[in-house]
Amino acid sequence: MIVGSQKSIDEIWNMVKDFKKVLVFGCNTCVAISHAGGGKEAETIATLLRMRASQEGKSMEVDHTDVMRHCEPEYFEPVMDELKKYDLILSTACGVGVNFLSQRIGKIPVYPGVNTSFYGAVEAPGQFVELCAGCGNCILHLTGGICPVARCSKTLMNGPCGGTNKGKCEIGPEVDCAWYLIVERMKELGTLDKLAEIQPVRNWSTSRDGGPRRVSLEHIRAYEEGEARKSETAGGNK
């Protein structure tokens, strides 16, 4: 899932203070799990903003609402008319949600209430850990299921470097060395000999380095376009 963390209320206040009618818009999927931007958090932020507005003597209407997901139009279409009554949407979805809604809401600005942190998992209640970098070219079968792109501070393909210290990364004693973990895991799997192979220079174009990415499923696109043509023809016959 996408892990987010809430921006400080001071930062949010500085973004929103000059607007009159603000909607805090929560997303109940990923960022709700990381307690950053779900319906509950949207409600809390709205309350804090109302308090702040009254402290600062600003007349501002602040409401909140939430939907299940901000990354698919059908989830926010039903509330679109409601959203358009505001002069600012403070989205507490991840950056995907902010972008996606911005493109669809016309002249109303959409601001971020959350910092989108990473793709991660819930290690323990209230503790989230980055495990994937979305690089577009997965090699986890070669590294014992431990990702060096996301989890090695230097994204080394042929680690470890000389910075491993008692199983920890040179950047700090709280950071596990991914390559230490990889070696130990490969030992456990009985596949350590695989690590002797040199991983060649990588093609990073599948990652962000290749520019903005898109995945297109041809069979689904073809089906959808076929359906659209059918309904056009049906409309023409009317």
Partner 1 sequence: MKSGSNLEKVILSGNPAVTAELGPPMSADPHEVIKKANILKGFCDAANITDCQTAVVRISSIAAAALAYREGLEPVMQMTCRDRNRIAIQADLLGAAALGLKNCLCLAGDHQKFSAAGRLKGHPGAKNVYDVDTCQLVGILKKMRDEGLQEGGDPLEAAPKFFVGASWTPMGDPIDFRPVNLLKKVNAGADFIQTQGIYDIELFRSQMEKIRNMGLHERTAILGGIIVPKSAMMLKYMDSSVAGVSVPKALIDRMNKAKAAAGDDKKKMRELQEAEGLKLTVELIHQILETPGVKGVHIQAIEWETAIEGIVKAAGLYPRPTFTE
Q: For residues 44 and 117, which CB has a smaller minimum distance to partner 1 in the complex? A: 117
Among 107, 141, 166, 238, interactor with partner 1 by CB under 8 A? 166
Asked if residue 155 binds partner 1 (CB under 8 A), the reply is yes
Among 118, 184, 185, 206, interactor with partner 1 by CB under 8 A? 184
Stretch that binds partner 1, among 29-37, 130-138, 178-186, 211-219 (CB under 8 A): 178-186
Least distance (Å) between residue 176 CB and partner 1: 12
Asked if residue 133 binds partner 1 (CB under 8 A), the reply is no
Stretch that binds partner 1, among 13-21, 32-40, 61-69, 197-205 (CB under 8 A): 197-205
DSSP string, 38-57: SHHHHHHHHHHHHHHHHHTT
Please give the DSSP secondary-structure letter assigned to residue 115. E
Contact between 66 and 38 under an 8 Å Cβ cutoff? The reply is: yes
Q: For residues 201 and 234, which CB has a smaller minimum distance to partner 1 in the complex? A: 201
Asked if residue 160 binds partner 1 (CB under 8 A), the reply is yes
Asked if residue 146 binds partner 1 (CB under 8 A), the reply is no
Asked if residue 132 binds partner 1 (CB under 8 A), the reply is no
Stretch that binds partner 1, among 86-94, 135-143, 168-176, 224-232 (CB under 8 A): 168-176
Least distance (Å) between residue 116 CB and partner 1: 17
Stretch that binds partner 1, among 28-36, 67-75, 103-111, 150-158 (CB under 8 A): 150-158
Least distance (Å) between residue 173 CB and partner 1: 10
Asked if residue 172 binds partner 1 (CB under 8 A), the reply is yes
Asked if residue 161 binds partner 1 (CB under 8 A), the reply is yes
DSSP strand pairing (114-124 vs 2-6) = antiparallel
For the four alpha carbons of 225, 231, 237 and 238, in that order, the dihedral sign comes to negative
As a whole number of angstroms, the distance between CA 45 and CA 92 comes to 9
Q: For residues 109 and 134, which CB has a smaller minimum distance to partner 1 in the complex? A: 134
Give the interface with partner 1 as residue ranges (CB under 8 A). 153-167, 169-172, 180, 183-184, 192, 195-196, 198-202, 204
